Structures are given as structure tokens and as C-alpha cells.
Structure 1
């Protein structure tokens, strides 16, 4: 398999994931497109597509976690009793869960895309 084509196909799948983000299953669709274009090893190219598509989401969530202490809501949360460490841990769980959701669905979509290319 040509690595350049696999990365290009993964990038195309990641762009499709972003464009189709209004659907609930955009990682699945983007991964399927990447797998369909790649024609083999759909699991790998789909997972790469999901990882690329996760970069903006992770960046945005990390930015929110950095800016959260400077907002008035953070002081309110501390007064209520939620510690700053708990907010950070919760944020980390959300980020890791979002990335896992995107990568796993994209990898599954890559398998579906390869299957569709072979069978149709």
C-alpha cells in the first residue's frame, strides 16, 4: 500500500467527517469514504481519518479548559464545591471519550468502505 495515498485518503475522510458533522454518524461516513478510496486496509486508514478529524475538537476543548478559570462560571463552581481538579478530570474524560468515539467509528466506517468497494 502506498503511504501517501493512504494519508491523502485519510485526510479526505477527515474533511468529509467535518463537512458531515451535522449528522450524528459523521465519523462513520468519513471513515467509510476513506476506506472506499483506499480499497484495502480500511481499518487503519479509517482510524487515521478519525484521528485527523479529532484534532480540531481536541484543540477547541483544551482551549475551553484553559479559558474556563477566567470566566465567572468557574468561581461559581468552586463555591458550590466542585474542585478545580474535578473539572479538569471531567474535561479530560470528555476529550478522551470524544476522540475514542471518533476514531472507533471512523475505523468501523473504513471497514464498511472497503467491504462496499469489494462487493459493489
Structure 2
């Protein structure tokens, strides 16, 4: 596979400008959780990612909404109910993220083993 020729100079570099918006571990994990296809509430997401702090989860959700990767729907109920799901843009991103997940699963042991040797 041949690499694309990119202008990597900031601020026109698409890699820096796009990937930096969702390439942290929590964003990728949250997108993977929502890729199940169902709409989820905050507590359900928190249950799927038990080691994420409330502050980090709230911030990550806000960022992913801001970048149109997930949608937030608030219902005018008592108590308030908010649900999250992937947008069409988020869904279109998921095959690439799924490839990374598969790669990580296939090479997990190898990467950990090699890390211990250095």
C-alpha cells in the first residue's frame, strides 16, 4: 500500500486537524461503545467505561458532539433524560476505527512483549 503525499505543515495538515479531535483513548473507546447501534444514556456509557472519570466522560461527550461525531438528545422530562448516539459522520468513521480495534486485538501480546524488552 502506497502512502498518500500529505502536506504535514500545521495548520493545513488534515492529519493534525482532524485526528487530534478524536484520537485520544477515551474518544476512541466512547465511539466504539456507541457503535453498538443503540442510543445510550450517560450512566450506560459510564458502565461500559468504568475507569473513566465523570469529568473526562462529560468533556469527551461534549467534544464529540461539538465535532459532529455523536449526537446528544435531551428530553424535557423530570428527571431529565439525555441520550447519545453516533451521527452519520460518526458512523462513517467507525470502519476505520474498527480496523484499529482489530489490529490492536491481533497484536496486543506482541506489542506488550516488545515493550518489555526495551
**Same-fold status (TM-score > 0.5):** no
Task: Indicate the structure with greater strand content.
Answer: 2
Task: Indicate the structure with greater helix content.
Answer: 1
TM-score, normalising length: structure 1: 0.29
- Higher RCO, 1 vs 2 (CA within 8 Å, ≥6 residues apart): 1
Greater Rg by CA: 1
